[in-house]
Structure 1
């Protein structure tokens, strides 16, 4: 009886940086289960929302996946992005893309870990958090609670949440909804932390 080979994640696609210093640059991404890079159209909408805020920020790309949101932020002059990705192959691909873009440790850090475990460690607050977890896993309520408990969102900081329509979550009272958009399947929301 033949043993079935375990399917490996392979580089089969790319993400495109929309604007900034790496405008038009394509970065390789893996074909890995559950990995769904944010579409160019959604990214364009999001970064139009973020345009007045992005330069000089310290960002967390939670559930980083392809790293597309973090790389777009760095292209638009964010100071630093922490990429947290559980899938080892995806995390290695983000590291490879950081090397391609010649990023140093003060600009980007890639952490291969479960984001909820990683956020138990003390860290400085972030100016911008991207929360785009795998769909149908009910990870948002726990992530939001962790961000609030650990005070991970800086005063006036922003958090972008992308979720399937059916995902129910509540937000802290001091988070103000700035922008939102909805498609047939996905909710996109941008909140700002009050003072």
Structure 2
């Protein structure tokens, strides 16, 4: 069975099981390691949102490094099953809420919920970034919220007035950018 290893924190070295079928594109471990070296000092006592959660590796890594909790949004039934089982196996179910719905539906329906850190890693070759990020900023962020956006290096370039680019990393065809919301 394929798996991903948690990079750091109290769960570091533990395994996240994933389905055999190629239905997800997990954030490369090198990118996760870089991302969490950037945000680890700010993770204590945070509320996180993992949109297009897939394996849940970003939200699980956040909890492993001190986040209070994470809401995972993933519409794929099989990935949701693995995510729930992984959270059970890791003993973090009390710090998680796993929602089986599309990111678009979550963004459209949920209001008045603010997060400290938002992970946004949509499928490549879709227009999710320009369609959803403005709504995510408006509905789920506050001054200082960190938003991590991952896309393909060759995909659309985007710029949002309320986002200040803090860090950027590239690994293969993945481009990860960390922003701070400045309202």
* TM-score, normalised via structure 2 length: 0.93
Preserved CA contact (<8 Å) 1:82 1:109: yes
Q: Residue 168 of structure 1 corresponds to which residue in structure 2?
A: 156
Larger Rg: 1
Distance 1:14 1:24 in 2: 12
Q: Residue 39 of structure 2 corresponds to which residue in structure 1?
A: 50
Distance 1:63 1:171 in 2: 21
Compared CA separation, residues 103 and 183, structure 1 to 2 (3 A): closer
Preserved CA contact (<8 Å) 1:175 1:192: yes
> Could you tell me how far 1:52 is from its partner in structure 2?
1.7
**Aligned residue pairs: how many?**
182
1:100-179 equivalence runs, <5 A:
100-105=89-94, 107-120=95-108, 121-150=110-139, 152-179=140-167
Preserved CA contact (<8 Å) 1:144 1:171: no
Match of 1:82 among 71, 75, 79: 71
The answer on 1:40 being equivalent to 2:29 is: yes
* TM-score, normalised via structure 1 length: 0.87
Q: Residue 81 of structure 2 corresponds to which residue in structure 1?
A: 92
The DSSP-based 3-state class of the residue aligned with 2:167 is strand
> Could you tell me how far 1:182 is from its partner in structure 2?
2.5
Stretches of 4+ moved more than 6 A in 1? Answer: none
Q: Residue 19 of structure 1 corresponds to which residue in structure 2?
A: 8
- Identify the structure with the greater helix proportion: 2
> Could you tell me how far 1:169 is from its partner in structure 2?
4.5
Compared CA separation, residues 172 and 94, structure 1 to 2 (3 A): same
The answer on 1:192 being equivalent to 2:175 is: no
- Identify the structure with the greater strand proportion: 1
Encode CA deviations 1:75-123: one digit per residue, 9 max, x unaligned: 0110010010111110111011111122244x10000100111122224
* Structure 2 residues without counterparts, runs of 5 or longer: none
Preserved CA contact (<8 Å) 1:32 1:90: no
> Could you tell me how far 1:184 is from its partner in structure 2?
4.6
**Which structure is richer in relative contact order (CA contacts within 8 A, separation 6 or more)?**
2
